[in-house]
A and B are shown apart, each in its own frame.
Chain A
Amino acid sequence: ELKVEQNPLFLSMQEEKNYTIYCNYSTTSDRLYWYRQDPGKSLESLFVLLSNGAVKQEGRLMASLDTKARLSTLHITAAVHDLSATYFCAVNGNEKLTFGTGTRLTIIP
C-alpha cells in the first residue's frame, strides 16, 4: 500500500524567508503532483513531476523529484503573503492517487 508523508504539517514563515516542504512516499511511482488549496476552495495544480531529477519552477515555488530516495521537495523562495495556503503532494500508484496530509503554510508579515 502506497503511503505518502509530508512534513511539516504546519509552517509559519516570515516574509522574504526561504523554506522547504518535504514529501516522502513508500513505493515506486512514476508521477508526483503538488497542489495548492485555499480555505474553502478546490485544489489548484502546481506541478507534475514525471521523472527522476525533474525540477520545475513557477514564480517563488520550485519542486523537485528524487525517485531513488522517494522524495520530493517544494521550495519556497522569499515568501510573500499570497503564498499562504495548504500545500499537498500526491503520488500516483496503480491508477490511484494518494495524498499527503498537507502542509498549512502561513506567511507572517
Chain B
Amino acid sequence: NAGVTQTPKFQVLKTGQSMTLQCAQDMNHEYMSWYRQDPGMGLRLIHYSVGAGITDQGEVPNGYNVSRSTTEDFPLRLLSAAPSQTSVYFCASSGVAYGYTFGSGTRLTVV
C-alpha cells in the first residue's frame, strides 16, 4: 500500500547547489504533478505530466525541471537552488477515478 513515495523528507541545500526530489507511485496512474506549498499561499503547481514522455509547465515552473521516462517515476530537479525555493514540495498522482493521491512531502531549506 505504498501509494506515492517522496524522498527525501527533509533537505538543506546551499544556494547554487542542485538536487533531485524523487517521486514514485505504484498505482499505474498516468497523471503526476509537483506542487510547492508556502505559508498562506496554498499549493501551487510547478510541473505536471499526463503520461510517460509528456510533461508541461504549471503556475511556477522557473528554476525547476522534470522528466517522465516511466509511468512510475516523476523526479523534480532544482538546477541552482535559491532561498526563494525554500518550501514544502508535494508530489501527487491521479488515475481514472479522478482522485489525487499526495505524497508525504519534502521540506526543503535553501540557505
Interface residues of A (CB under 8 A from B): 31, 33, 41-43, 45, 48, 50, 88, 90, 92, 95-102
Contacts and interface: CB of A to CB of B under 8 A. Distances in A.
Contacts, number: 47
Contacts of A98: 45, 59
A101 to B, nearest CB: 4
A47 to B, nearest CB: 10
Q: Which 10 residue pairs spanning A and B have beta carbons closest together?
A: A99-B42, A101-B42, A99-B43, A43-B102, A42-B102, A42-B104, A102-B42, A42-B105, A48-B99, A96-B45
- Taking residues whose C-beta sits less than 8 angstroms from the other chain, chain B's interface range is 20 to 34
A96 B58 contact: yes
B48 A95 contact: yes
B96 interface: no
Nearest to B91: A42
A75 to B, nearest CB: 21
Given A42-B105, A95-B50, A101-B41, 6 more contacts: A42-B90, A42-B102, A42-B103, A45-B100, A92-B98, A96-B48
Interface of B is mostly: strand
A48 B44 CA distance: 19
Contacts of B98: 31, 48, 50, 92
Interface of B: 31, 33, 35, 40-45, 48, 50, 56, 58-59, 90, 92, 98-105
B5 to A, nearest CB: 12
Contacts of B31: 95
Query: By CB atoms of chain A within 10 A, which of B43, B104, B105 has the most?
Result: B43
A37 B43 CA distance: 11
A99 B70 CA distance: 27
A65 B99 CA distance: 16
Contact of A43 (B33, B40, B90): B90
